[in-house]
Amino acid sequence: MRNQTLLLCVSRIVLLMIVAAMATGGPPRRYSPPPTSGLGISGEASRDTPLPRTAPLPAGTDVVAWARANAGRADIPERTLRAYANAEIAQRRSNPGCGLSWVTLAGIGSVESNHATYRGADLDDAGRVDPPIIGIALDGSGGTAAIGDSDGGRLDGDSGGDRAVGPMQFLPSTWVTYGADGNGDGVRDPQQIDDAVLGAAKYLCSGGRDTTSGSGWWSGVLAYNASEDYAREVWTAADSYATGGRPVES
């Protein structure tokens, strides 16, 4: 009887932990800004603090070989790292004034979905997330914003309200504007890694932003998610790729 009571108590604790995690509004955050990460003693970067300079990937980079050589050191799945690199190259070609680096895309991908692996997800041969990543209901509960349905549930499976979708967590209404065809198959799919990452690049570079400046970088990330804590978390992740965690060149 005592063992049964103990098992019941443990089960209740586990259930409460799961409920608490679900109430945070999205996937678990992999990075927390440490006080010695370059953000200052308080652990808070200002909006004028840019990322360290990173050399752009040359337009002729063999991205497959580059990702194969660097995935282990970056601790990013090889297929996902390819998507980050391809999006940087494509965005620099179409919008060179933005200066977007793959490290920023990787920082966002880390925080949003742990590089498309949230809750055991993986990428299939076509680069599509399996199972699809769908965010929690944005119905105003648990501190979330209340966002009405914009797509009839076509992308998020919820006709009652919008949910963020895919490894870069786009709202369906935002995907209409910034959705991209990163793999060239003629379809814009927020659950496909190349499409999702290129869409994020377009969003970050919109409005003529220069992401090599502190104000431009912070403006883009805060537009992506209007949370100072979120932006600092992305900054810390991206900074780790740009400095101590930066992969070697292939």
C-alpha distances (whole Å) from 229 to each of 31, 190, 194, 211 are 11, 25, 27, 19
Over pLDDT 90: what percentage of the chain? 51
Mean pLDDT of 70-85: 94
The answer to whether 78 and 67 have CB atoms below 8 angstroms apart is yes
Mean local confidence (pLDDT), 53-82: 91
The domain segmentation of the chain, as residue ranges, is 63-243
Half-sphere exposure of 168 (CA within 13 A, CB side): 35
pLDDT band, very low/low/confident/very high, at 44 (cuts 50, 70, 90): low
Residue type, 153: G
- Looking at residue 45, its pLDDT comes to 62
Give the pLDDT band of residue 2 (cuts 50, 70, 90): very low
d(CA 233, CA 44): 10
Please report the pLDDT score of residue 131 as a whole number. Answer: 95
Q: Rounded distance, CA 136 to CA 21, Å?
A: 11
More confident call, 64 vs 55: 64
pLDDT of residue 27: 41
Q: Does 25 score more than 80 pLDDT?
A: no
pLDDT tens column, 122-156: 999 999 999 999 988 777 777 677 788 777 878 88
109 and 235 in contact (C-beta within 8 Å)?
no
Beta bridge partners of 133: none
- Who has greater pLDDT, 244 or 211? 211
pLDDT recorded at residue 52: 75
What is the per-residue pLDDT for 7?
41
pLDDT of residue 245: 60
Mean pLDDT, rounded, for 65-80: 93
Question: Looking at residue 138, what is its pLDDT?
Answer: 76
Does the pTM surpass 0.75? The reply is yes
pLDDT digits (tens, 9 = 90+) for 206-228: 999 999 989 999 999 999 988 88
> If you average pLDDT over every residue of the chain, what do you get?
80
